[in-house]
Amino acid sequence: MSVFTSVSVQELQAWLQGYSIGEVIELKGISSGITNTNYFVTTTQNKYVLTLFEHNTMDELPYFIDLMSHLATHGVPCPQPITNDSGISLHMLNGKPAVLISCLNGHDIKVPEAKHCAEVGAVLAKMHIAGQSFEERVTNKAGKPHRNPRDANWRVKVAEQVMSHLAVEDQQLLKDTLAFQSALNISELPKGIIHADLFRDNVLFDGDKVGGLIDFYYACNDLFVYDLAIAVNDWCVQADGALDHARLNAMLNAYQEIRPLTQAEQAAWNSILRIAALRFWLSRLYDKIYPQDGELTHAKDPDHFKNILKLRIDQR
């Protein structure tokens, strides 16, 4: 979450005509994250999050809005989109599609413990199960499963864009990992709706319990075990990227109490950890090499995920 598109209080007040949420008291930019523009909006009635989408079109966004509503009604703690008096939640604001969502209780955890990782594993499994009925509903409406916009094809494309900017050693690491990805057989691995970005800053804790999962705008249809690997590579690692086995076991055990991994998923686990590390090494490289203008942007260090990738290769 960052601020790329500026919004004034006056512009917001005009945009909120037709909403029954009270008068605006405060509008505050949110600086964490790197994709969309986000603000905290405080009114005389409640606190909300305003998101302006920097890359998604109006046609793409109902999927994410409907998904959050579906998950919230199926017991997964996540934001509820706020509709205006006409029942519409998506509108254009300063040239960008925008939505107002409920602001959940809690805060992110900077240094997670095993108990936090167990909570995340359990909620992630519940989300994977709850998402299956949403996927069925979308498919039954003659829609297609929402593919991962940062899938293997994306990883190959972005690798080509960043390759010439890398040191020779890093170029070889990238080439070797792409070859590994190409040879990996994932045909037997279960798929469904995944969050695809369940980092520490996308989970709010209210005490020792998950208060909510946020930022569903990378949600898509992909491998469940890939989603779990993304979470593990952030929640269950030491400062150098090495796995913290107490936290790892806590997350995996809690996940499997609700949705046991198949034999194929267990066999592919280390491989998928590598692919999950590759995805975020590439996205951070791209953001560093081709930065996007923004008021409060925070570029994240790509070397962190390069180190994680190298460690996952060594542990095979």
Phi, psi dihedral angles at 206 (to 5 degrees):
-110, 95
Report the predicted TM-score, pTM, of the whole model to 2 decimal places: 0.90
pLDDT tens track for 98-148: 999 999 989 999 999 999 999 999 999 999 999 999 987 776 666 777 899
The burial class, CB within 10 Å (0-12 / 13-18 / 19+), for 289 is middle
Task: Please state, in angstroms and rounded to a whole number, the distance separating the CA atoms of residues 247 and 235.
Answer: 8
Residues of the chain with pLDDT under 50: 1, 295-296
Task: Please state, in angstroms and rounded to a whole number, the distance separating the CA atoms of residues 307 and 284.
Answer: 13
- Among 264, 227, 202, which Cα is nearest to 68's? 202
How large a percentage of the chain has pLDDT more than 90? Answer: 86
Q: Which domains does the chain have, with CATH numbers?
A: 9-102 (3.30.200.20), 114-314 (3.90.1200.10)
Instruction: Specify the amino acid at residue 223.
Output: L
Report the pLDDT value the prediction gives residue 291, as an integer from 0 to 100: 86
